[in-house]
Amino acid sequence: MSHILSLITFIPLLGMLVILCLPRHQKDWIRFVSVFSTALPLALSISLFLDFENGSKGMQFVENCDWIRIPDYKLRIQYKLGVDGVSMPLVLLTGILSFLAVFASWETTKGVKAYFALLLLLETGMMGVFCSLDFFLFYVFWEVMLLPMYFLIGIWGGPRKEYAAIKFFLYTLFGSVLLLLAMLAFYFHAKENPNVLDPMDAFDLVRLADANVRLTFTGLFWQVVFVAMFIGFAIKVPVFPFHTWLPDAHVEAPTAISVILAGVLLKMGVYGLLRLSLPILPEAAAWFAPFMAALGLINIVYGALVAMAQTDLKKMVAYSSVSHMGFCLVGMAANTEAAMMGAAFQMFTHGLTSAMLFLLVGVIYDRAHHRVIKDFGGLAFQMPVYTGITTLAFMASLGLPGLCNFVSEALVLLGSFDAYRTTTIISATGIIFGAGYFLWCFQRVFMGPAKERYSMMPDVNGRELFTLVPLGALVVFLGVWPRAMLDTMTVSLKNVQDAVASATRGG
Amino acid sequence: MSLLDAYPLQHYLLVSAALFALGIFTLVARKNAVAMLMGVELILNSANLNFVAFSRYTVGNFSGHLFAIFVILLAAAEAAVALGIVIGIFQNYGDVDADALDGLKG
Amino acid sequence: MSPTALALVQDLRLFLPEVILVLTTLLVIVLDVTPVRKSHRALLYLTFCGLLLSGIYLLRHYVDLRESGGRASSSNVLLFGNSIALDPFAVYFKGLFLLVGLLTGVLSIRYKKLNPAGEGEYCVLLLCSTLGLFLMVGSRTLLMAYLGLELVSIPSFVLAGFQRDSRLSNEAALKYTIYGAIASGIMLYGMSLLFGLAGSLDFAAIRHALEGQTELRASPLLLSVSMLMILAGFGYKIACVPFHMWCPDVYEGAPTPITAFLSVGPKAAGFGVILRFFYQSLSTHSGGGDWTPIVDQLQWPIVLSVLSVATMTVGNLAAVAQTSLKRLMAYSSIAHAGYLLMGVVVLSKDGIFAILFYLAVYVFMNFGAFLFVVFLHDLVGSEDIEGCRGLGWRAPFPCIAMAICLFSLTGLPPLGGFIGKFYLFLGVIGRELYWLAILGVLNSVVSLVYYARVVKAMFLENIPRGEAEPLPVPFFYSAAFAVLVAPILLLGVYWAPLVKLARYSSSIFGA
């Protein structure tokens, strides 16, 4: 049994402990330890990605031992880690973005020690969510993320940081207690039907998704459970009408934290649906699919329209996230091979582009100390390199062919056309709106006459380039060679899709 | 099933209920700390009467009597402590009216 | 010796932990009045020794009980004419109470308002109160429950008013006394009615009497009234709605270590008595670790579940507006009484177990929070949330410890409080009380609002520009915080041993 997933998950935690032991004025050492303890998981997740067997059906790199086992109580919680095609890309994405986030936070001056310690704790939580195959363990990691995020937004954030932090905290906590109740529902189902599912396995996500087991989750009760879980995940995605925490959190959070929020945390909602809701409760998922499609549609169109109305650059990017995450929902609702693939790939591509966008917003905010779109203008002359990279990020986000978002969004639209024709057509307008606000924004920020007050603004520096270039390269690479990632996901997504499809036929 | 004797149990219960009601009334109506403690004494004694009466009429052993003796004992202890505290209050506030105690709010 | 006397001596041997507490009390009284020069806090340390010695004998009882057959029925020992039970359930609670007593002592070491002159009395009262807690959880009869309850109450009235020159402390003591006297009076009246209806004071005999009556001789109304009256007394101890009014005032006015004691000790003992009384007298064991109410007309679980929801809601909503840390903790402890009541209403072994488990974690969380109040008072001179502003940057370790306690009280993983709540909700959902579970988790979410206010004040407000001027934290506090927080963290990631212990201790009452 290899322990690579444990290492990926807990090296940041170790790094955090090391940082806590360092004296607080040793800022360089603190930064060095952070780099090291995010670089190592990144290296390991790359090797994981290379070793990953694309054709294999089950979980890979599984680690399994009993965490808590009380025979008399019939309750077992496992320490079970493993990855499949759904989680593999996200582990990689988390590794990349956490590593880059350390560099994006290099200039933090206030409370350096606390900042990096929390950032590393956050990475442990995120990795744990993507790796865990036990519901309880999943839940623990899911909540472990909340605390560092609360402090990172609340201490290092913008003017309304306290409001944004507590709002984020309360929304997500509300969602997660619903998850907790759903988790208990599985346990009691197992207790009542021990011949179908041993109560000792009631939290095992692989066992729950087993064909014999999931067939017993039928009826109104499980539809209610599905809705509870859906709300729990929807808050993270965020799905309209649970999205209102997102603009606040994004706008107030420091750059690196916005990157993590948009790049990884939003993906957790969709990942939760793909890992738990759809494969374990396929019948309820099939029943809920039309609603999910409708919510996705609202997300896409509403997000795009609101983004268009924003005056704050960061808020615009935040709402564009709402819009883009809608594609994931539509794709999952349609449940065809292409649509599923698109939804899962969208998580990865949006993770890359939104991270880039937030980094870029951070770059300009560091220089101009404001983000009001209409006050910029003519930056193309002062910051040519910056303009170039922004062009790439904007084009990727609005879905230009040849860049990665085009692939994922096109797959979603292609795949869902048969299932939800009207929805798909309206969703496609979201892309047009997207092109609208991105191009309009580009025009107002970079075009036009150069403004005197920005004449002294330096172009992107080496550190910023270091964070932006890898993301840009991946955006282009996956745009022209998406199979590098798609092949990883195919088999696992097919499993999910089959589960839901058979439930649809059966019911 | 009724339990009628020469002096039926109900008589005792009625007296005790009346005592209890009087005690509660004292607590509600009076704001003086000492008077409230007297109300509490009425309640305790109503319970004692019940215990002894039940013990004599229906149960047939002395467990109720025993209970009553303990209650008397503890009531004395409680009264001593309570009066000690009341004296402390009087020294600090110059009054033992419950409405005068308004330092703690929220 | 006559057989009765012999049995009494036999029983005394099994009563050693309590006997040691009594002896320590006497020793402290004697030493206090003898004009020997005593070093600072010497009597307090003597109290520690007494508590620890009592703990050693308690441990021996635990081992004996385990060896005498593991099964609950054989390990139930009844002392003094069936009035006190020595079973794993009682031993578990007594262990908690010793811990509570010790921690209260630890909090008092540096509590400035405790002057050396009153130290002896303070220790005596604390020991008496602890003895009362012991008797409460062991009680098998109404009489013993009453005596135990009063033995806890009367010393704590004095403790609450221990600062005789402080108006607030006096006021707290008077309120506590009057509410306490009223509650125990009403409880007594209820007990007398129940005695008349069932003809016995013994919990088990009451059940037999009520079970035996096919046609309920007593009117169900009278039975309900007496039950509600008895609940007033117990509810006062656990501070559940509507018997909670004393709680915020007393918590604020009492000396902080005593507040911590009141928020855990009597509350835990109250739950011990409630479990014994309601499970042994008013329910029938229906096999498989489940109980049903003894009389169909007396659906006390419904009453208690309504009270539970009301308690947690009132506690949480009122806490949101508080500015004083002690008042905030008072409302938080009211809310926790509500959560714990959920474990009573499920009428199952899982419910008892969840309560036992949660109480153990609760001791550490609450004492951690109150230690912070003592710390704040000692170093900053404030007991308000206002006083914590920006403190996280000047004294990181105590503030992080406080934050851990508060998040654990909220019920966030990976902390012990989450595991406790997890088992409580497990019990509730196991009984298909979905509405109760949903209201319970929603309340947990609400509780985050006010716990986070404290955390916000500590870390998010008043952030210094550049280097903060560090506050010198005495070693005592760092050590004490470490001791209190370590179990919270440990129980959050590895809690199997405590589950086994609590599980074993909940196998009482023939289940």
- A363-420 residue pLDDT tens: 999 888 889 988 888 888 888 899 999 999 999 998 899 899 999 999 999 999 888 8
- Using DSSP's 3-state secondary structure scheme, residue C291 falls into strand
Q: Does residue C296 have a pLDDT over 80? A: no
Q: Give the pLDDT score at C73.
A: 46
Q: Give the pLDDT score at C511.
A: 45
DSSP track, C413-430: TTSHHHHHHHHHHHHHHH
Question: How many Å separate Cα C436 from the centre of its chain?
Answer: 23
Q: Does residue A507 have a pLDDT over 60? A: no
In a domain, C319, yes or no: yes
- Using DSSP's 3-state secondary structure scheme, residue C338 falls into helix
| Beta-carbon count within 10 A of B51 CB | 31
Structure confidence by residue, pLDDT tens digits, C134-156: 999 999 999 999 999 999 999 99
Q: Give the pLDDT score at C204.
A: 87
Residues of chain B with a CB closer than 8 angstroms to some CB in chain C:
1, 13, 16, 20, 23, 27, 33, 36-37, 40, 43-44, 46-48, 50-51, 53-55, 58-59, 63-64, 66-67, 70-71, 74, 77-78, 81-82, 84-86, 88-89, 92-93, 98, 101, 103-104, 106
CB-closest option in C161, C165, C193 to B50: C193
Q: Does residue A71 have a pLDDT over 80? A: no
Q: What rounded mean pLDDT belongs to chain C?
A: 88
The CA distance from C461 to A157, in Å, is: 12
Between residues C71 and B63, the one the model is more confident about = B63
Which of A335, A272, A296, A340 minimizes the C-alpha distance to A500? A335
The distance between the two most distant Cα atoms of chain C, rounded to a whole number of Å, is 80
Which residues 6+ apart lie within 8 Å of A304 measured at CB?
A319, A320, A323, A430, A433, A434, A436, A437
In a domain, C342, yes or no: yes
The CA distance from A349 to A355, in Å, is: 10
Q: Give the pLDDT score at B5.
A: 57
The CA distance from A53 to C231, in Å, is: 64
In a domain, C399, yes or no: yes
Q: Give the pLDDT score at A305.
A: 93
Interface residue of A173, A221, A227 to substitute, partner C, most C CBs within 10 Å:
A173
Cis peptide before C242 (omega within 30 of 0): yes
Helices (H), C68-116: 72-75, 88-109
Structure confidence by residue, pLDDT tens digits, B12-58: 999 999 999 999 999 999 888 889 999 999 999 999 999 999 998 88
Residue burial C180-191, b: 16+ Cβ < 10 Å; e: rest: bbbbbbbbbbbb
Q: Does residue C88 have a pLDDT over 80? A: yes
CA dihedral of residues C142, C148, C152, C157 (deg, nearest 10): 60
Taking an 8 Å cut-off on Cβ atoms, the answer to whether C174 and B33 are in contact is: yes
Q: Give the pLDDT score at A152.
A: 94
The distance between the two most distant Cα atoms of chain A, rounded to a whole number of Å, is 76
Touching subunits for chain C (3+ Cβ pairs under 8 A): A, B
CB-closest option in B64, B74, B89 to C174: B89
Distance from the Cα of A145 to chain C's closest Cα (Å) equals: 10
Residue written as tokens 């591509």? A349
Helix, strand and coil in chain C, % to nearest 5: 75, 5, 20
CB-closest option in B40, B81, B84 to C185: B40
Taking an 8 Å cut-off on Cβ atoms, the answer to whether B82 and C157 are in contact is: yes
Taking an 8 Å cut-off on Cβ atoms, the answer to whether C452 and A140 are in contact is: no
The CA distance from A238 to A216, in Å, is: 30
Q: Give the pLDDT score at A392.
A: 94
Q: Does residue C75 have a pLDDT over 70? A: no
Structure tokens at A101: 């986030």
A196 contacts chain C (CB < 8 A): no
Which of C63, C46, C58 minimizes the C-alpha distance to C17? C58
Structure tokens at C33: 């009045």
Structure tokens at A179: 């998850």
Half-sphere exposure of B25 (CA within 13 A, CB side): 6
CB-closest option in C418, C452, C495 to A169: C452
Binned at pLDDT 50, 70 and 90, residue B60 comes out as confident
Q: Give the pLDDT score at C84.
A: 87
Q: What rounded mean pLDDT belongs to chain B?
A: 85
Structure tokens at B93: 């506030």
Q: What is the mean pLDDT of residues A486-505?
A: 87
Which residues 6+ apart lie within 8 Å of A94 measured at CB?
A45, A123, A126, A127, A130, A264
The parent domain of residue C361 ranges over 301-511
The parent domain of residue B57 ranges over 2-96
Give chain C's domain count: 1
Distance from the Cα of C173 to chain B's closest Cα (Å) equals: 7
The CA distance from C156 to C254, in Å, is: 10
Residue written as tokens 């001789």? C217
The CA distance from C28 to C123, in Å, is: 7
Structure confidence by residue, pLDDT tens digits, C349-408: 889 999 999 999 999 999 999 999 999 998 888 889 988 898 988 899 999 999 999 999
The CA distance from C22 to C10, in Å, is: 18
Give chain B's domain count: 1
Q: Does residue B4 have a pLDDT over 60? A: no
Between residues B56 and C462, the one the model is more confident about = B56
In a domain, C510, yes or no: yes
Q: What rounded mean pLDDT belongs to chain A?
A: 91
The CA distance from C322 to A112, in Å, is: 32
The CA distance from C192 to C199, in Å, is: 10
Structure confidence by residue, pLDDT tens digits, A150-197: 999 999 988 888 999 999 999 999 999 999 999 999 998 888 888 888
Q: What is the mean pLDDT of residues C265-280?
A: 92
Taking an 8 Å cut-off on Cβ atoms, the answer to whether C429 and A70 are in contact is: no
Q: Does residue C268 have a pLDDT over 90? A: yes
Question: How many Å separate Cα A139 from the centre of its chain?
Answer: 16
- Using DSSP's 3-state secondary structure scheme, residue C393 falls into helix
Q: Give the pLDDT score at C336.
A: 95
Structure confidence by residue, pLDDT tens digits, A29-47: 999 999 999 999 999 999 9
Structure confidence by residue, pLDDT tens digits, C196-237: 888 889 888 888 888 776 555 667 788 889 999 999 999 999
The CA distance from A449 to A380, in Å, is: 9
DSSP track, C250-280: HHHHS-HHHHHHHHHHHHHHHHHHHHHHHHH
Which residues in C lie closer than 8 A to residue B40 (C-beta atoms)? 178, 181-182, 185
Distance from the Cα of C366 to chain B's closest Cα (Å) equals: 21
The answer to whether the beta carbons of residues C149 and C273 sit under 8 Å apart is yes
Residue A15 sits at the vertex; the CA angle it makes with A14 and A20, to the nearest 5 degrees, is 100
Residues of chain C with a CB closer than 8 angstroms to some CB in chain A:
350, 393, 396, 407, 412-414, 418, 422, 425-426, 429-430, 437-438, 441-442, 444-445, 448-449, 452, 456, 459-461, 463, 465, 467, 494-496, 499-500, 503
| Beta-carbon count within 10 A of A372 CB | 10
A72 contacts chain C (CB < 8 A): yes
Q: Does residue C36 have a pLDDT over 80? A: no
Touching subunits for chain A (3+ Cβ pairs under 8 A): C
CB-closest option in B37, B50, B67 to C143: B67
Q: Give the pLDDT score at B72.
A: 94
In a domain, B106, yes or no: no
CB-closest option in C393, C414, C438 to A140: C414
Q: Which long-range contacts (CB under 8 A, 24 or more apart) does C436-440 make?
A: C436/C305, C436/C308, C436/C309, C436/C342, C436/C345, C437/A181, C437/A184, C438/A181, C439/C309, C439/C312, C439/C313, C440/C309, C440/C312, C440/C339, C440/C342
Which residues in A lie closer than 8 A to residue C412 (C-beta atoms)? 143, 146-147, 173
CA Rg value for chain A: 22
The answer to whether the beta carbons of residues A459 and A369 sit under 8 Å apart is no
The CA distance from C173 to C179, in Å, is: 10
Structure confidence by residue, pLDDT tens digits, C151-175: 999 999 999 988 888 888 888 899 8
The distance between the two most distant Cα atoms of chain B, rounded to a whole number of Å, is 56
The answer to whether the beta carbons of residues A26 and A45 sit under 8 Å apart is no
The CA distance from B55 to C26, in Å, is: 36
Q: Give the pLDDT score at C507.
A: 73
Which of C392, C366, C333 minimizes the C-alpha distance to C488? C366
In a domain, C386, yes or no: yes
The answer to whether the beta carbons of residues C180 and B37 sit under 8 Å apart is no
Taking an 8 Å cut-off on Cβ atoms, the answer to whether A185 and C438 are in contact is: no
Q: Give the pLDDT score at B7.
A: 77
Residue A124 burial by Cβ neighbours in a 10 Å radius (0-12, 13-18, 19+): buried
Taking an 8 Å cut-off on Cβ atoms, the answer to whether C154 and B77 are in contact is: yes
The CA distance from A66 to A196, in Å, is: 21
Taking an 8 Å cut-off on Cβ atoms, the answer to whether B81 and C177 are in contact is: yes
Alpha-carbon distances of C448 from A386, A466, C250, C332, rounded to whole Å: 42, 39, 24, 11
Q: Does residue C508 have a pLDDT over 80? A: no
Structure confidence by residue, pLDDT tens digits, A81-93: 999 999 999 999 9
Binned at pLDDT 50, 70 and 90, residue A350 comes out as very high
In terms of CA atoms, which chain A residue is nearest residue C424?
A184
Lowest-confidence range among A37-46, B65-74, C285-294?
C285-294
The CA distance from C43 to C28, in Å, is: 6
In DSSP terms, which residues pair with C202 in a beta bridge? C141
For the domain that residue B34 is a member of, what is the CATH number? 1.10.287.3510
In DSSP terms, which residues pair with A69 in a beta bridge? A76
Distance from the Cα of B7 to chain C's closest Cα (Å) equals: 17
The share of chain C scoring above pLDDT 90, in percent, equals 55
Which of C459, C360, C357 minimizes the C-alpha distance to C402? C459
The CA distance from C251 to C325, in Å, is: 10
Which of C492, C503, C175 minimizes the C-alpha distance to C350? C503
In a domain, C89, yes or no: no
Structure confidence by residue, pLDDT tens digits, C297-340: 778 889 999 999 999 999 999 999 999 999 999 999 999 999 99
User: Which residue type, as a one-letter code, is found at position A139?
Assistant: Y
DSSP track, A207-264: HHTSHHHHTT--SHHHHHHHHHHHHHHHHHTTPTTS-THHHHHHHHS-HHHHHHIIII
Q: Give the pLDDT score at B103.
A: 64
